[in-house]
Chains A and B, each alone.
Chain A
C-alpha cells in the first residue's frame, strides 16, 4: 500500500517512461476511416488506428470526444443501440468485424469488455466467473470449470480474497474487488483483446492501484485498450496513447512521446490542462 501512495507522490509523468519500451509487435486491431453516427450526430470522424498485440493502449481526451464510442465499436457493443451507425473498416487479425458473416456474439467472446462501473451479476462469485465459459461451452465438466474459474480469479488478482467464499454473492464485495471480479469474469472467456472503459473511475486510489497493477500483468497475454480520464493513469499503465478530440483522433503514438513531446498543439494543451 505504501508503495502505491509513494507512486502517487512522484512527479507526474516520469515514473512509467523507463518501462514502457515497445518492441516491434503485430497489429491486433486495425481501424480505417471509421465513422460513427448517433442519429444525425457525427460522433467519430475518420479514425484510423492500429492497435498492437500484447500492448496496453490508452484512449485519452475530454468528455464527449468519442473515445468510449470508438472503444464500443471494437466489439460491436454499439449494435445494441438502435440509432447508432458505424461505417469504415475495423479488422481483427485481418478479418472485418462488421462483415455480415461475423456473429457479434462470437466477436464479443474474443474481444472482452470491462465497464466503468463494476457490474457483477446478482449471482455467486463462482457463477459470475463461470458465466462466460458456460455459455460458450469452454468446459467439458465441473472439474474443468472449477479450474477455469480459479485461473480467471487468480489472473484477476482476487483469488486469495474470495477463495473461501466462492458461493457468496458477487454484489457483496467492495467496489475494487467487484471491479477485479469483473475483470476476472472477462478474462475467463479467454479473450484476445480486453477493452476497458474507465475501469477505475468508480474506485478509490488503493483499488485503482491494484487494478492498474493487474492491467500491467494482463499485457503479457492480451492486447488491452483502456479509456481513461486520468492522464497519470494513462502514463502509468500504457505503452501507446491515442488522444481524441471532438470525434477526431488527434494524435497516436508512444505514451512517452505523447506526454513529453506531443506533435499536435491540441494534445499539448490537453495534457497540460489548458483544454478539456
Chain B
C-alpha cells in the first residue's frame, strides 16, 4: 500500500473519530454543553489525537528502521568476492538497490510478472536483458549475487511495508476506540488536548536543537577524519595555502593562517566602514531626527539588510572594484593591480553591515532611560554633550554587543568575498591586494567533483569548524555583554 494512501486513511479515521467523539460526549451529557467538562470540540480533538499520533509515530520510526535492517541483512548476503577492487560494499549496495528498483518498475509496467521477478532460479543474463528491454537502465551487467540480493531486497521491503500498514492501521483503530471510550462528560478532554499542544511545541523546539547538534557532530567527525590525514600543526600554523587536487597528484599545503588573515583583514576593513557610519546614523535617528524623518529613514536604512549578498557581490565586482582601480590602480597611485582586493570586498561588506550596526544601536540608544537625558539637560548640557558623555557610555556595552554581532556576520560572509576579494590566499599587509577568506575557500574546496576521502575536500570541514568556533565565541561574548548591560537599569 503506498505511503500516501496509508497516511490519508489514518487521517480519515481521525476525522471520523473527531465527529464520533464529539457526538458521543455530547450525548453523554444529555445534549447540554454546560454539563460537559470541556467544549465538545475538545472531545473530538482528543479522539483525533489519540488516533493519529501513535499511528504516525510508529510509521515514522518504521520508515527509518526498516531500511537499516534490510540493508544490513542484504549486505551480509553479498559474498566478499563480488566486491570488486577499487570498489566498496557501498557501491555494490547501490547497485543492488538500482536493480531492485528496476525490477519494481518492470513489474509495475507489466514487462515482467511478479513470479518472474521473484524467481530465485531465473537466469541473470536473461533478467538483465529483459530489464534493458523494459527501459529500466541497469549500469553494468547484473551478476548472480547482485540479482539474488536485489530479489531478497524487494521481498523484504514488500513484506516490511505490508506489516507496517497492518500495524499502523491497527494502532489508528485502537486509538480511535480508546478515545471514544473516554468521550464522556466527566473526562477532562481540555487538559488532554493542552498536554498534546505542549508536546507539539516541545517537539518543535527540540528539532531545532537536535539539528544544531547534528550539524556540529557532522563537522566534528569530518574534522577528526581530516586531522587523521593531515597534521593539525600544519593546518593551524601553516603559512601557505596551496591545495593540489587529487587528480593532479602531489601533496598539498593546507595552512589556515593565510585564510584567517584574509578573513580578519576584510572583516576589519568592513567594520571600520560600518561601525562609525552605522553608529552615527543610529545617533541621528534616535536623538536628532524628528519622528517623521525617523519613520521614513529607518525602514529605508533597513532595506539595505534585505539585499541578497550576491547583489552586493556584483556591486563590488562591477562598481566598487573598477572605481577603486581608477584611483589606486596603475593610472592613479599604482598600488592596485586588479579590481578584486581586500579593500573592494571590505568596503562593500561594510555597507552591508551598516543596517546591522545602526538598527541594533538605535534600539539600544532608545533603551537608555529618558531620565538620563533629562538629568543631563537639567545640568545645562547640550545635546551632543549629553550623547557623548551620558548616552553613549550608558549604551556602550549594548553597542559593543551589536558590533560583535556584525563582526561575526562579516566573518561568515561568502558571496561578497568570492566576487570582490579574489581567490588568492596571501599573507600580505597591502589592502589593495587580492586575498581570500575561510568561507570562500570552503566553497572552492567542495564545488566540483570532490573526493570526500581526500584531505583537500575534508579540509573544508576543518575550516568550517574553525569558523564555527570563532563566530560562536563572538556571539557568546556579544550575548554576555548585552545581558550584562540589561541588568543595569533593572
Contacts and interface: CB of A to CB of B under 8 A. Distances in A.
Given A115-B371, A135-B385, A171-B488, A122 B393 contact: yes
Interface stretch (B20-28, B141-149, B372-380, B441-449): B372-380
Nearest to B394: A122
Contacts, number: 70
B82 interface: no
A77 B375 contact: no
B390 interface: yes
A105 to B, nearest CB: 5
A109 B488 contact: no
A170 B390 CA distance: 13
A109 B378 CA distance: 7
Given A82-B290, A122-B488, A171-B488, A112 B381 contact: no
Interface in B362-419: 369, 371-382, 385, 389-390, 393-394
Most buried by A among B371, B373, B375, B376: B375
Most chain B CB inside 10 Å of its own CB: which residue of A75, A80, A135, A186: A135
Nearest to B381: A135
Interface in B96-149: none
Contacts of B374: 77, 80, 113, 115, 119
B290 A108 contact: no
B379 A119 contact: no
A262 interface: no
Contact of B380 (A109, A122, A182): A109
A135 B377 CA distance: 11
Interface in A173-211: 182, 185-186, 189
A120 B378 CA distance: 12
Given A119-B371, A135-B385, A75 B378 contact: yes
B interface secondary structure, majority: helix
Interface in A127-155: 131-132, 135-136
A117 interface: yes
Interface string A79-103: 0101000000000000000000000
Residue in B290, B381, B389 whose Cβ sees the most chain A Cβ within 10 Å? B381
B376 A131 contact: yes
B286 to A, nearest CB: 14
B376 A121 contact: yes
B379 A77 contact: no
A185 B371 CA distance: 14
B488 A77 contact: no
Contacts of A135: 379-381, 385, 389
Contacts of B381: 105, 131-132, 135
Given A115-B371, A117-B371, A135-B385, A108 B488 contact: no
A113 B290 contact: no
A121 B377 contact: no
Contacts of B378: 75, 77, 108, 112-115, 186
Contacts of A107: 380
B380 A105 contact: yes
Contacts of B376: 121, 131
A45 interface: no
A106 interface: yes
B377 A108 contact: yes
Nearest to A121: B390
Given A131-B389, A135-B385, A135-B389, A121 B372 contact: yes
A243 B72 CA distance: 92
B379 A108 contact: yes
A28 interface: no
Nearest to B375: A119
In this complex, the member of A108, A109, A171, A189 whose beta carbon has the largest number of chain B beta carbons within 10 angstroms is A108
A186 B375 CA distance: 9
Nearest to B378: A113
A229 interface: no
A266 interface: no
15 contacts: A77-B378, A80-B373, A105-B381, A107-B380, A108-B377, A108-B379, A109-B379, A109-B380, A113-B374, A119-B372, A121-B390, A121-B393, A122-B488, A132-B380, A186-B378
Interface of B: 290, 369, 371-382, 385, 389-390, 393-394, 488
Q: Which 8 A-B pairs have the closest CB atoms?
A: A109-B380, A113-B378, A119-B371, A108-B380, A132-B379, A119-B375, A122-B394, A121-B390
Given A108-B378, A120-B375, 4 more contacts: A80-B373, A113-B374, A113-B379, A131-B381
